[in-house]
Amino acid sequence: MNHSNHHKISDYTDEQYDQLITRKKNAQRVSRKKLTLFSSPIRTVWLFLCVCASTLKSYISYLMANKFLRFSFIPIVLSYGFLHYVEGPHEEILSTFDDFMVWTLWWLGLGVLSSVGLGTGMHSGLLFLFPFIAQVCLCATECQSLDFATRGPNAFVCLSRDSDAGIPFLGIFKKVFWPCFIWGVGTAIGEIPPYWVSRAAARAGEEDEEFEQISQVSERPWWDPLDIFNWMKVWMLNWLQRYGFWAILLFGAWPNMAFDLCGIACGHFGISFWTFFGATFTGKALIKVNLQAMFFILIFSEHLLMKVIDVLSSWRLTSLKDVIQEFLLTQKAKYHQGFNPDGATSTATQSPLLARIWGGIMFLFIAGFAISIVHSLAQSRQSSIDKAEIENLEKNRQKSR
């Protein structure tokens, strides 16, 4: 900043300068909200790539600085990779392990992506986990057994059938427990970034933008009514200050769109990481997701689905009824594929129209989800740049005095 600008800054009173900074912050906030792939594609992509590169660099630096990881993790990874190029009896075991790890990482990643983005992300449970539970329930009902795989090329194909045997609730629950648990672990991990950002800001003596918005809501006068979402924010903030671990556990144990704000508040109040993550892990991975799994196991049975079809028929929603019936018939045919009393393999009839419609819907959901993640990370990076600009203004102000 040149001498004339120093002179201009020195002419401001403290109150005028505070107003200038406030206007600057508001202008930056408005500008960040407009930072999207649709309005500023080049800058948005560039900021997103900067975040990815910075994150990768920090992980590599941490790995190289930690002697235990450097002399244990790296040799294990190299040995694991070497075994893939050596022929022997271990190949089948290694292949099974690879498939299992890919499947596990898939559900873990979906859980993480469900939590990141300060609420801007698409809930991957609605897109993947809950339909998976429904598919397991439908397959168990049709096969009248639990003798089928839930992953791999022969997933959801009846290997045996026992029409006289009942399907135990706990049997289905064990069938879906691992994906549900890993997805829940992912959702807990996805809550860590807001916590660390807010904690770092609090330690540096800075105001976190998201927490500042929560504080402004909680300080509104009693005669200014709150909408339900803002009321939830204030309620969460008060409970966190009073009950700590148990409040975090409670907020994590039920579907809560505002849980990101819980992590931000925990970081601001200096709640220890293991208290925050332990309560979040217990609430999300051990309580909430298992309750959700039990709920969907109870409702996704053929008996209840047929009742839904009957209700749709009474409401004259024949088109929707036909879609559900076609889906059920397609799934039944798929489950019978590969199962034949004589050992033959039948061919499942498929519905190209229904498959295309569902594929299109899934593509739109996933594309929107991916775009929201890019926007969130790019805006987060821009927020860091904006804060640095404000800090420079403050430093120049001190120099001009």
How much is the average pLDDT of 135-162?
A: 83
322 vs 229, residue with greater confidence: 322
The per-residue pLDDT for 42 is 94
Read off the tokens for 254: 């039920």
181: in domain = yes
pLDDT bracket for residue 212 (50, 70, 90): low
Which of 18-27, 178-187, 223-232, 303-312 has the least mean pLDDT?
223-232
- pLDDT tens by residue, 42-77: 999 999 999 889 888 888 888 788 888 778 888 888
The per-residue pLDDT for 337 is 52
Q: Are 119 and 192 contacting, i.e. CB atoms less than 8 angstroms apart?
A: no
Task: Give yes or no for residue 2 having a pLDDT over 50.
Answer: no
The per-residue pLDDT for 49 is 94
Identify which of 249, 217, 244 has the alpha carbon closest to the alpha carbon of residue 233.
217
Taken in order 253, 257, 258, 259, the sign of the CA dihedral is positive
Task: Give yes or no for residue 286 having a pLDDT over 90.
Answer: yes
226 vs 95, residue with greater confidence: 95
236: in domain = yes
Task: Give yes or no for residue 180 having a pLDDT over 90.
Answer: yes
Concatenate the DSSP letters of all residues of 266-332 into one string: HHHHT--HHHHHHHHHIIIIIIIHHHHHHHHHHH-SHHHHHHHHHHHHHTT-HHHHHHHHHHHHHHH
Cα 95 to chain center, whole Å?
A: 28
Identify which of 325, 324, 358, 200 has the alpha carbon closest to the alpha carbon of residue 273.
200
372 vs 121: CA distance, rounded Å = 6
Residues in CB range of 26: below 8 A, 6 or more apart: none
Task: Give yes or no for residue 396 having a pLDDT over 90.
Answer: no
124: in domain = yes
Cβ burial of 264 (10 Å; 0-12, 13-18, 19+) is: buried
Q: Tell the residue number behind the tokens 């003798």, with chain if given.
A: 147
340: in domain = no
Count other Cβ atoms within 10 Å, centred on residue 209. Answer: 18
For 3-63, the three-class secondary structure string (H helix, E strand, C coil) is: HHHHHHHHCCCHHHHHHHHHHHHHHHHHHHHCCCCCCCHHHHHHHHHHHHHHHHHHHHHHH
How much is the average pLDDT of 145-153?
A: 85
The per-residue pLDDT for 119 is 46
How much is the average pLDDT of 20-28?
A: 84
Q: What is the CA radius of gyration of the chain?
A: 27
75: in domain = no
How much is the average pLDDT of 197-203?
A: 73
Identify which of 314, 359, 356, 307 has the alpha carbon closest to the alpha carbon of residue 328.
307
8 vs 237, residue with greater confidence: 237
- pLDDT tens by residue, 245-254: 898 998 888 8
The per-residue pLDDT for 388 is 85
- Give the mean pLDDT of the chain: 77
Which of 169-178, 279-288, 360-369, 373-382 has the least mean pLDDT?
360-369
Range of the domain at 238: 107-300
Contacts of residues 382-385 at CB distance under 8 Å and 24 or more positions apart, as own/partner, are: 382/31, 382/32, 382/35, 382/47, 383/32, 383/209
Residue type, 196: W
How much is the average pLDDT of 344-373?
A: 65
Which of 135-139, 273-277, 315-319 has the least mean pLDDT?
315-319
Q: Are 332 and 211 contacting, i.e. CB atoms less than 8 angstroms apart?
A: no
46: in domain = no
368: in domain = no
- Total count of domains within the chain: 1
Name residue 149's beta-bridge partners. Answer: 155
The per-residue pLDDT for 140 is 85
- pLDDT tens by residue, 108-130: 988 887 876 444 445 677 778 88
111: in domain = yes
Residues in CB range of 255: below 8 A, 6 or more apart: 288, 292
